[in-house]
Structure formats: C-alpha cells, structure tokens
Amino acid sequence: MPVITCIEDLRRLAQRRVPRMFYDYADSGSWTESTYRANEADFQPIRLRQRVAVNMEGRSTRTTMVGQPVAMPVALAPTGLTGMQHADGEILAARAARAFGVPFTLSTMSICSIEDVAQHAGEGFWFQLYVMRDRDFIERLIDRAKAARCGALVLTLDLQILGQRHKDLKNGLSAPPKLTLPNILNMMTKPRWCLGMLGTPRRQFGNIVGHVKGVEDMGSLSAWTAQQFDPRLNWGDVEWIKKRWGGKLILKGIMDVEDAKLAVDSGADAIIVSNHGGRQLDGAESSIRALPRIVDAVGSKIEVHLDGGIRSGQDVLKAWALGARGTYIGRAFLYGLGAMGEAGVTKVLEIIHKELDLTMAFTGHTNIETVDRSILIPGTYPTA
C-alpha cells in the first residue's frame, strides 16, 4: 500500500481500482470540461498571509451548518452512483462521515436507498432531491426522508435537463454495468471491485426501483429516468417542496446574484454556490469565483455554502475566508471510497481536516469562527 499524503494519491489509487465507466463518471465534466477544471484551478492563485509568533494552542475547526454542529465546515456532497464506486458505497461513506462528525448527503440517484443508509447514518444525514415530473413519487420521497430523520433537504436546481457528458456516452454508463466485451475486460482488471459487488445485493438505484410503478429493473428504470427530470421546475415548486418538507431546506446550484436573491425570498435556510461540479453548463464560471459576489449580495440574509473544486483543507479555508459558511466535497470523497472503501473516506476527511487546521494556524488563527478575508493577500482572490 502506498503512503497516502493527499487527495491526489487517493485519486490515482481509485483510478486503478474502479472500473473505467464509474471512475470516468466521477472524474469528468460536460463538453470540453473547462468549468470542471476551473473549479479546482481557480483556488490556486489565492494566496495566504502567513503570521508568526502567535499562540497556536487550543485550535478548533468546529462550527455549524444550518444550525447543526460539525467538526469542520465540510459536508459530503450528494453524488449519484456512489455505490458503484465501491460496493455499498453510500453506507460506507455515511459511516465515515458520522464517525468524523460531518454531514453526509445522499443523492436521489444513489445505489443504496434512504432506508439502507438511515441505519448507519447519524444526525448529520441529509437527503438531496431531484424534482421529477411524477409529483406523487417526489412526495413519497420527501416523506421517506422525513421518516429517516434526515436533518436537511438539499434541493438541486441545476439539473432540469442533463448536460452532455462525453465520457459517459462513450462508456455506455449504466448501473449495473452492461456486460459488453470491453466492460468485461476492464472489470477483469479490477478484482477488488468485482468481489465487493458480488457480495452485495445493492446494484440498482435503491430510491427508485421498487418505489415507482412499472420500474422493477434497469431497462424500465432507464426509460423512466429519461423522461422524468422536470424542465418546468420553478420557484413555485421550491415553495411547494419547502412546505411539504417542513425542515431545513438548502438550495443547490446557485451561481447568479439574482437567483440568490430569489432563493432568499423562497425562505430557504441556505444556498450552495455550485455549478454541479462542471457537469452541466460547460463554460460557466467556477464556484469560487462566483462566491464573493453572492456572499456580498445575500450573505447577511441567508447561509451561503460552496461546492466545487475542493481538494484540500486549504481550499476549505479559502472558501470560508471568502464567506462560505460550509463547503462540500464530492469527487474527493469518491476518490477515497473507490481507493479504500470506508477507510478511504475517513482518510480524505483526516487529510482535509489536518490541512485546514495547520493552514488556519499558520495564518494566525486558532478558531475558524475568527477567520475572514484578512488572511488572504489582496489582489489574489476574486471579489464582488
């Protein structure tokens, strides 16, 4: 086993261990992937002010996200097909998040169901909702999340239609994978993954199969999902969902100040500045560049979070300094999961926490609540 020191080490290990179609699903964007790359790259020019001769004892990264205590301002982002990166992937990730003290957000398009994950997740179990044309199904899904005692509902607003992801089309992405000759040959080189999948019954979309009339297998599921994402989604639907849910509501996919203001008017508890990891509108601005403008416009009225491009604890601290009161890691935890299962997700959280803690100390702070833009070198970070 190689020595793991950073998220990139886990990415390389995951690439060796996860079948190509599922690794590519996680590690890709839409069209030219320019926004996907910018999400990560735009953190790099931001420079930190190093401070010295400051008492660094008694450091704390603890804070809250939508009123819920967290060990650091990080949540595991909702990611589809997580249970195809590693057998029972959502359950393993939820267990790691619970032990570490950060939220885990389950995707509507997960392999393990809400009920599966609820048995392993703690108070930091959140559920992400896609709006489908079948409103009866959506109502039942919200009710299932309530029954599972999810602490927040994350409503994704930027997937009314699906962005074109070239790698998924070329790989013929499906869950479980179609047994074509190229897929079989590729899976033969991933024995750990294959053994894990042989040992679990969870190989389909657990929140959908068996919960929608007429959807009992992958063939009928593909036909159903192709027509179900609702392009008519609007702010009236957000109001309806908020009323039906009744708990903490987080709106994901905000990249524009006008949309941020409408989100405030909707009564949501938080927004996530996110471009869906560069998987929808290629050519959109990176999340970190959009963040300061949105924080300046609505940060005093609603809690602002950030998703996209975070690969280190330094990225978390930079986002916090620019006004994000929470961040989400998607690809980073998927790399850990694909590389080493639950232990890999734990390793990701440990790496990010250590980098966050040390960087905070080097900038002269012992409590993340006191960190602001003053830790950044003027002219190196995006402004409103």
pLDDT in tens, 224-256: 777 888 899 999 999 999 999 999 999 999 999
Tell me the two tokens of residue 333. 């935890």
User: Does residue 347 register a pLDDT over 90?
Assistant: yes
Residue with tokens 């908020």: 242
When divided into structural domains, the chain yields a total of 1
Let me know if residue 198 belongs to a domain.
Answer: yes
Q: The pTM is what? A: 0.96
Active site residue 276: yes
Binding site members: 25, 78-80, 107, 128, 130, 156, 165, 252, 274, 276, 279, 307-311, 330-331
> What is the β-pairing status of strands 63-65 and 68-70?
antiparallel
| Domain CATH for 248 | 3.20.20.70
State mean pLDDT over 353-358.
98
User: Does residue 373 register a pLDDT over 90?
Assistant: yes
Distances (CA, A) of 211 to 113, 118, 144, 160, 378: 10, 17, 11, 21, 53
Which residues share a beta bridge with 101? Answer: none
Q: Which residues contact 111 (CB under 8 A, 6 or more apart)?
A: 81, 82, 83, 84, 89, 90, 175, 202, 203, 204, 205, 206
Give the model's pLDDT for residue 220: 67
Give the model's pLDDT for residue 384: 82
Q: CB-side exposure of 97: number of CA atoms within 13 Å?
A: 34
Q: Which residues contact 355 (CB under 8 A, 6 or more apart)?
A: 312, 313, 314, 316
State mean pLDDT over 20-41.
96
Let me know if residue 373 belongs to a domain.
Answer: no
Instruction: Give the C-alpha separation, 159 to 206, whole Å.
Output: 20
User: Does residue 105 register a pLDDT over 90?
Assistant: yes
Instruction: Give the C-alpha separation, 356 to 319, whole Å.
Output: 11
State mean pLDDT over 164-193.
89
Quote the DSSP letter at residue 122.
-
State mean pLDDT over 23-32.
96
Calculate the average pLDDT of the chain: 95
User: Does residue 216 register a pLDDT over 60?
Assistant: yes
What's the pLDDT band for 219 if we cut at 50, 70, 90?
A: low
Let me know if residue 124 belongs to a domain.
Answer: yes
Instruction: Give the C-alpha separation, 193 to 87, whole Å.
Output: 7
What's the pLDDT band for 168 if we cut at 50, 70, 90?
A: confident
Give the model's pLDDT for residue 215: 73
Let me know if residue 207 belongs to a domain.
Answer: yes
Binding site members for glyoxylate: 25, 165, 276, 279
Give the model's pLDDT for residue 218: 57
Let me know if residue 367 belongs to a domain.
Answer: no
State the alpha helices, DSSP H only, in the chain: 7-17, 20-26, 34-41, 89-100, 114-118, 135-147, 166-171, 181-187, 191-198, 218-228, 235-245, 257-266, 287-298, 313-321, 331-340, 342-362
Q: Which of 86, 120, 276, 353 is catalytic?
A: 276
Let me know if residue 262 belongs to a domain.
Answer: yes
Let me know if residue 209 belongs to a domain.
Answer: yes
Binding site members for FMN: 78-80, 107, 128, 130, 156, 252, 274, 307-311, 330-331
Q: Give me the amino acid identity at 101.
A: G
Let me know if residue 120 belongs to a domain.
Answer: yes
Residue 251 domain boundaries: 7-43+58-359
User: Does residue 1 register a pLDDT over 80?
Assistant: no
The more confidently predicted of residues 210 and 130 is: 130
The sign of the CA dihedral 357, 13, 333, 193 is negative
